[in-house]
Structure 1
Amino acid sequence: MSRRDFVKVVGAAAAGAFLYSAGFPRVLAQAPVIGTRDVTGMKSSGDGSRTKVYFSRKIDAAHLIALYDCINEGIYGKTAIKLHTGEKHGLNILPREIVREFVCHVPDSTIVETNTMYPGDRYTTALHRETLKVNGWDFCPVDIMDEDGFVNLPVRGGKHLKEVAMGSHITQYDSMIVLTHFKGHAMGGFGGSLKNIAIGCASGQLGKRQVHGYLTGPMPPSGDAWGRMPLQDAFMERMADSGKATVDYFGKHIVFLNVLRRMSVDCDCAGTSAAEPTIPDLGIVASTDLLAVDRASVDLVYGRPASENHDLVERIESRHGLHQLQAMRNLKMGNDAYELISID
């Protein structure tokens, strides 16, 4: 049975270890061994295996493409590039010129997005398309995947969700590249590859409500959620559930790239109101493993001096953001022990 047939049937029915490679740059080899700091409060999986996470300190199209070429063995056919295109005039969204070159490098690829749950510049398809033009995402087609509704993807072994309503166009793609601007997030603490697919692929008016846990009525003021850790933990777990639905759907045909650039404590959803970043740009990480790529990104942030990472770490910890990593591990969504391999 094909993936698409499986979805139709279901819908109808209803780091750990941070290792330096031999060629790792001297400047980073002298830095703290980040993986030995127990960032998440959990030990690595312990089976001895290490996932490869590729890394470059250089943030440009050439290195983004080179990193992608290290992990793209499973990418084929019609390919979705999941990107957060941001609110109007967003200060920190990924540079369009870098993404343009990347899209040109990937045959038969399309940038994909979904509408938002909250009223704003991307609340409806019409508003969303206008925002895409304003932000310079008009150099290629952009598929707003929930423009024509949603499709239920199953969550195998999910803790809270058994299925999630995704933008219906997701089933039109053979592969997915998750190209993520890694940064802080008002509810998640940080927004990495998990957030990009867990919320970013979910349909605006149903799937995103499922993930946030508000199926009826208006969303509460954001401040009401902060600090209520049981509520926050459940949100991280629902994000993991939702992310698992997308990862399971694409199987070996999904890869992840996190760009650690302009890392505000705020998501690109904040638009022009996003706080100015206080941590320097760190580079790009890439992997076929969702848990490993997000853990490596967090480890790189935590490895910076407190004078640089204080604001972003405070945002992550005040929102219980590290529970994203634990929730993914609990669902066996990847390996938290990884080898960081520099391509510089």
Structure 2
Amino acid sequence: MKKIGIYFRMCCCSLLALAAVSGVACAQNTSQPEVGGGKTLPKVYMFKEINAGNLVKIYKALGREATGKVAVKLSTGEPGGHNFLQPALIKDLVQEVSGTIVECNTAYAGKRAKTEDSRKAAEDHGFTAIAPVDIMDAEGESALPVKGGKHLTEDYVGSHFLNYDFTVVLSHFKGHAMGGFGGAIKNISIGIASANGKAWIHSAGKTKDPNTMWDNLPEQDDFLESMAEAAKAVVDHCGERILYINPLVELKA
């Protein structure tokens, strides 16, 4: 993951995990020390006890009100699985921002490759009971430009993503077969990408066809850099209209 850290600067959640911190949220703060090019470091807020009330408190501490139509990006989890943020934990925060939980279909064959199956998974895991759920590529995809990309010139996201004014990113953490570590970067790159966009990232820009994706896998570093480039496209699109809250719960290898 070192190259992702160099290639795309985001909140360094892995260090916080090593420090045995249970939760972290990140926001830009102009009072922070400057780094190269006059840019400022993100200000990081932490708490040790993870519960629904503290998620709301840490959101308010950021001083970044989520306004307009708010997308809450999280993983709704694989059918039958348990490695996702539980609805009871995030309900108060999602409703505090009047958010819509957003996801996209997967690029691999399974029980979330079709919109109706993705909706069913979200329902079975309790997410539709706490907020509206939008499978963003149900009606196609839109292209976001990748500025200065090494592998990608465009990032293909679910078309509904452009309907939102603000994005709240809720990420949990787990081992990932290709990425090595799944967190906020994966959540906004592969997670917001359409099924075709996921194939585009996994193949480092070789194919948008999920059926040929596995025959066009690149070198590992090329995939990691492509994932970072796609995340950068989302961040560039959102500007200041995005924030990250990362509960370190149920860590899985």
1:133-160: per-residue Cα shift (whole Å, max 9, x none)? 2111121210000000000111111121
Within the alignment, does 1:131 sit opposite 2:125 as a pair?
no
Establish whether residue 237 from structure 1 lines up as the match of residue 236 from structure 2: no
Residue from 122, 135, 154 that aligns with 2:112: 122
* Shift in CA distance, 133/166, structure 1 to aligned 2, threshold 3 Å: same
How far off its partner does 1:49 sit? 5.2
The residue correspondences of 1:1-344 to structure 2 (distance < 5 A) are 50-73=41-64, 75-107=66-98, 109-139=99-129, 140-204=131-195, 206-213=196-203, 215=207, 216=209, 217-220=211-214, 231-265=219-253
Residues 206-254 of structure 1 deviation map (CA, whole Å, 9 limit, x = unaligned): 1001100151553439xx97xxxx8111111101110011101110010
Partner SS for 1:190: coil
How many angstroms apart in 2 are the aligned matches of 1:74 and 1:132? 26
CA contact (8 A) 1:74 1:253 kept: no
**Equivalent residue of 1:239, what SS?**
helix
CA distance, structure 1, for counterparts of residue 153 and residue 119 of structure 2: 31
Equivalent pairs counted in the alignment come to: 220
Q: Does the residue aligned with 1:55 lie in a helix, a strand or coil?
A: strand
Change (3 A) 1:159 1:64: same
Task: Determine helix, strand or coil for the equivalent of 2:175.
Answer: strand
Q: What's the TM-score once normalised by structure 1's chain length?
A: 0.59
Aligned to 1:181, what secondary structure does the other structure show? coil
CA contact (8 A) 1:183 1:260 kept: no
Contact residue 72 and residue 169 of structure 2 kept, 8 A: yes
Tell me if the contact between 1:115 and 1:203 (Cα under 8 Å) persists in the aligned partners. yes
* Counterpart-to-counterpart distance in 1, 2:88 and 2:39: 40
**Could you report, residue by residue, the CA deviation over 1:105-164 in whole angstroms, capped at 9, with x for unpaired residues?**
113x10100000011111000111111121111212100000000001111111211111
TM-score (norm 2): 0.79
Query: Quick one: which amino acid aligns to residue 123 of structure 1?
Result: A
**Residue identity in the other structure for 2:212:** P
Larger % of helix: which?
A: 1
| Structure 2 counterpart of 1:58, one-letter code | E
Structure 1 residues without counterparts, runs of 5 or longer: 1-14, 17-27, 32-44, 266-344
- Unmatched 5+ residue regions in structure 2? 1-10, 13-18, 22-34
> Following the alignment from structure 1 to structure 2, what is the Cα–Cα distance between the partners of residues 258 and 87?
19
Shift of 1:184: 1.5
Alignment CA distance shift 1:50-1:171 (3 Å): closer
Q: Partners of 2:162 and 2:39 in 1: how far apart?
A: 36
Q: Is the 8 A contact 2:67 2:97 kept in 1?
A: no
Q: Deviations over 1:57-107 (max 9, x none)?
A: 111111111111122425321110001000112122111101211111113
Using the alignment, how far apart are the partners of 1:84 and 1:132 within structure 2? 9
SS in 1 for 2:247: strand
Counterparts in 2 of 1:100 and 1:156: CA distance versus 1, 3 Å? same
1:153 and 1:138 map into 2 onto residues whose CA distance is 28
Distance 1:133 1:200 in 2: 18
Which digits, 9 at most, give the CA deviation of each residue in 1:144-201, with x for residues without a partner? Answer: 0000000011111112111111000011001100101122211111111110010000
- In 1, Cα distance between the equivalents of 2:244 and 2:39? 23
